[in-house]
Structure 1
């Protein structure tokens, strides 16, 4: 029939894309952290992480040699942030290391542009995100089994650190919280069975508890509540999970109140807890620092997210210090655009996962830095952007009409007779 269409299968994500994503995860693990069982020179770790980023960009370029990309507000705003970072770092107030960090950020964003070809609103990048960070947590668990003393050092107050790769408790807590929340949502969306979900969730929660990371715990609970809330009206499984979660939370609050309070305080005084373990003092000093108009607008250039030799531990203040008020505006625009798009989408698993990632990054930004530079937080937001991308329309091709069959002469004669 003329005008009929042929349904075409969507292009599958190449395995090389998963490799590229794993290399990006490796690049964002960082080079500073706890002492490892086998001492690793920081120069060697930096060589591995930067080599992973260069290899990721080269592999992404090889897979997407025709440079097919999907433009969107997220990548456009990230590119503007890169331009701003180069401008703020050009005067070398933060040294030549600022230009090196700009080059790293350029490769990072360039790789995301190349991968955007496969951003189709599906959960492929969610699954790869969970796999990669679960592998990282596997190395943490292996270090804990091999050398419990090195994995739970007194230097960090007995909190869990990376004994094979230098990872800090907040890093481990972040990875555990993110993959736990995403796996719960995949379970509710029936994209993973219960055994597979338990295999990921149970050890991740154990490692999260051993890190005593309050930001990751609060971020997980709050972001997961928002994500599941977006599914309550359309998913019976989400409603059941929400009810059970409320009941369990009430029981835990009544029966284990003292234990939860001691875990949350981590042996600190209430005064130390109130000023966020000394973070508030660094924040006050940073805000009180005299700055020129140029420094207020553009910052002092990309640095190591520290002020006066102490970590800033706040994404917004770190961006203000390094990229100025313009940088803060761009980062806020990234979060607001992704959040607005997520809220305007109809309820779905992809939307719920995006809401979880955006909410977690927004909550963690108060006590963690990373939204203005290549970091796991930008990877989380990139996954959210891939989930919110409009699915690619399948090409529609007309079915060629069959040629008219020629009627034999004897048939025409019989019809006439």
Structure 2
């Protein structure tokens, strides 16, 4: 993942404005990650919020929401192109595999089994991947995109909290079994739980790595934990606990803070399991029967029907085209089956390669905060993929994996602005001889 970076520069007090010794074709490196990159990332997050969800306090037409989200993606691509007019990109296996994922998507969508909406979704995915290519110039293994990720999703959770304060009834409707939803923007409980879990995990790791102060971390973590608890989202909770456990385990040998946190976390988990076992079980079951819980709230029936449906050879290989991640009018709620349904075995193989590539690179890196954060994001997405869809299309899960890829990117070597002047060797007096005047 080599390329350009925003770090470094000439030193030694030399006048860098003098271009007399500039190398042919040498270009100055960017002075740092532009602040506008954070705006691009926020627009990508806005695009992936979706348009279907709970009823909001002020009814928002779905067409208006779709126009806003799609407009955000077009604006993100245009702004990223403005920031990277010379189209300098870094070699990235992650984005390359995403680009390859476009192939089965376009092939299957051309048959129009899912209607013209499939071609529209292919265009959206292409713009999404193109924006990631343009932003990849600033993927240098730093924490810049982690901070953008936390800030943007914390702002989204802020809108959820504001909606709960303004209209508690709309924020906790009976339609969703009393679970927290977005009352200002149509967000479902799994979405809110996902955003909360991800920023809790990343912020916790920043504290352990001493990259943020505890007061700022508390401001982010405590409200996010409350919102996560109110959503009753089991997948997000398990993803947070397992992902954070794996990430901290990767730091245990090198970080005393990680060892202390891990020990206290295990102790608190044991105490909570003993003292609050009945309450935790009630929260986990959400009032469901054991049969409904074992059936994954009806998901297993949809999965069985999808796998049993007859398919042509082309549909086996390339799927039926990008759709709304549903089968028979019901949500698939499984990333692997959704990819198989829409992009076939080819798409499923590419998504598998993405996880193998990112996971393999993370395991080969020496222990560090960046590596631990990447492990958390990769493991969270892997766990959530079992009951959530989104790995085959523009989604928050691909943004999580993009942040992981930025953390695993190797810092680029500095490109010197000019060649240093070579001082002429002065001969000793006795060797100079007579000078011609």
* Fold in common (TM above 0.5): yes
The alignment of Structure 1 onto Structure 2 pairs a total of residues equal to: 405
Out of 382, 392, 411, the residue aligned to residue 362 of structure 1 is 382
Is the CA contact (8 Å cut-off) linking 2:104 and 2:319 kept in structure 1? no
In the TM superposition, residue 348 of structure 1 has moved relative to its aligned partner by: 0.4
C-alpha separation in 1, matches of 2:425 and 2:11: 21
**Equivalent-residue separation in structure 1 for 2:242 and 2:304 (angstroms):** 27
Q: 1:41 corresponds to which residue?
A: 61
After TM superposition, give the deviation of residue 116 of structure 1 in Å: 0.3
Report whether the alignment pairs 1:66 with 2:115. no
Q: What is the rounded CA distance, in whole Å, between the counterparts of 2:63 and 2:277 in structure 1? A: 45
Give the superposition deviation at 1:73.
1.0
Whether the 8 Å CA contact 2:125–2:393 is kept in 1: the answer is yes
Which residue number corresponds to residue 373 of structure 1? Answer: 393
Higher helix share: 1
Among 396, 400, 408, which residue is 2:421 paired with? 400
* 3-state SS of paired residue (2:333): coil
Partner Cα separation in structure 2 for residue 140 and residue 197 of structure 1: 19
After TM superposition, the structure 1 = structure 2 runs for residues 17-416 of structure 1, keeping only pairs within 5 Å, are: 17-396=37-416, 399-402=420-423
TM-fit CA distance, 1:399: 3.6
Between stretches 394-403 and 67-76, larger displacement belongs to 394-403
Contact 1:331 1:371 in 2 (8 A): yes
CA-based RMSD of the aligned residues comes to 1.7
| 1:32-79 residue CA offsets vs partner (Å, 9 max, x unmatched) | 000000000000000000000000000000000000000121111100
Measure how far apart 1:406 and its partner are.
11
Partner SS for 1:56: helix
Distance 1:71 1:139 in 2: 37
- State the distance in 1 between where 2:112 and 2:263 align: 55
Q: List alignment gaps of at least 5 residues for structure 2.
A: 1-9, 13-27, 433-437
| TM-score (normalizing by structure 1) | 0.95
**C-alpha deviation, 1:395, in angstroms:** 3.1
Q: Scaled by the length of structure 2, what TM-score is found?
A: 0.90
3-state secondary structure, aligned to 2:344:
helix
How far off its partner does 1:398 sit? 5.3
* Counterparts of 1:25 and 1:199, CA distance in 2: 21
What is the CA–CA distance in structure 2 between the aligned matches of 1:369 and 1:222, rounded to whole Å? 19
Deviation at 1:338, TM superposition (A): 0.3
Once the two structures are TM-superposed, the CA of residue 400 in structure 1 deviates from its matched residue by: 2.2
Deviation at residue 407 of structure 1 after TM alignment: 11
| Aligned mates of 1:212, 1:38 — CA distance in 2 | 25
Partner of 1:415 in structure 2? none
Q: What are the superposed Cα offsets for residues 65-106 of structure 1, whole Å, 9 maximum, x if unpaired?
A: 000000121111100101220011001011000000000000
Kept after mapping to 1: 8 A contact 2:320/2:343: yes
Are the equivalent residues in 2 in contact too, given 1:180–1:204 (CA < 8 A)? Answer: yes
Cα shift at 1:228 = 0.3
Deviation at 1:10, TM superposition (A): 7.1
**2: CA distance, partners of 1:376 / 1:312:** 17
Cα deviation code 1:104-130 (max 9, x no counterpart)? 000000000000000000000000000
